[in-house]
Amino acid sequence: MIYVYAVTEGVPSPAARDGVGLAAQELRVVAASGLAAVVSDHPGGLTSPSETELWAHERAVERLMADGAVLPMRFGSLLPDEDAVRALLNTRRAELTTGLARVAGAIELGVRAVWRSDGGEPEQAPEDRTSGSGYLQALVGQRRRARALAERIDTPLARLARDSRHRLLLTANLPLSGAYLVDRERLDAFRTEVVALDEQISQAEIMCTGPWPPYSFAAASPEAA
């Protein structure tokens, strides 16, 4: 079996693909249609994954990012043989090329808000689920607050980003999650803005993770579809 980490335009430099992937297997390149897939060989298949394997996948893709545009594959992308990898590159060439152009020169940053535990969030979801209408009302209120927070955070950050994706989360303390596709040269400005928002917004902690490979932008945006 062949495990696929990412698709790149052209063959990545030896330095960028120097290293190992899952199960400490060497990385190699399968090229077709002007695209390259970075893969590793697993003749005996793969055992059940763990956090270690997730980070091995992530590191392999991160190294490639030093070299140019990269479209990361979803974790677990295993193909039977090299022909199947070439078929992937050939049959989906247009989609993959468009995707690479979409993310070229940019990195993905994650933004998360967490309600502060020190009383910033006025109403947590009620524990008493026996009162149905009260529970629903609290959920609606929780969602409304999450939406207001999302808009407040997104407006300044979207100005610094090429594209963005968001999710409102109906959890007690994690109201929202955002992914931003940011030009490399705007990385510092973006992080500075997140720190500023974190200081301005008293009821939630705003955190920035990354740079990540553009996992959230590997597929065309729902609006464009």
Residues that bind another protein (CB under 8 A): 4, 7, 46, 48-55, 57-59, 62, 71-80, 84, 88, 96, 99, 108, 110, 112, 114, 143, 147, 150-151, 154, 165-174, 176-179, 191, 194-195, 198, 205, 207-213, 215-216, 218-219, 222-223
Place of tokens 């062949």: 2
Rounded to the nearest 10°, the torsion over CA 104, 94, 215, 181 is 40
- Taking the least distance from each CB to another protein, the nearer of 98 and 131 is 98
Question: Rounded to the nearest whole angstrom, what is the least distance from the CB of residue 119 to another protein in the complex?
Answer: 17
Take residue 81 and report the two structure tokens written for it.
Answer: 């043989």
Question: Rounded to the nearest whole angstrom, what is the least distance from the CB of residue 7 to another protein in the complex?
Answer: 6
- Taking the least distance from each CB to another protein, the nearer of 138 and 168 is 168
- Taking the least distance from each CB to another protein, the nearer of 131 and 209 is 209
Extract long-range pairs of 120-126: CB within 8 Å, 24+ residues apart.
Answer: 120/202, 120/203, 120/204, 121/145, 121/173, 121/203, 121/204, 124/172, 124/173, 125/172
Question: Rounded to the nearest whole angstrom, what is the least distance from the CB of residue 167 to another protein in the complex?
Answer: 4
- Taking the least distance from each CB to another protein, the nearer of 12 and 72 is 72
Beta-sheet pairing, 28-32 with 35-41: antiparallel
Query: Burial code of 182-197, b = ≥16 C-beta within 10 A, e = fewer?
Result: beeebbeebbebbeeb
Question: Rounded to the nearest whole angstrom, what is the least distance from the CB of residue 204 to another protein in the complex?
Answer: 12
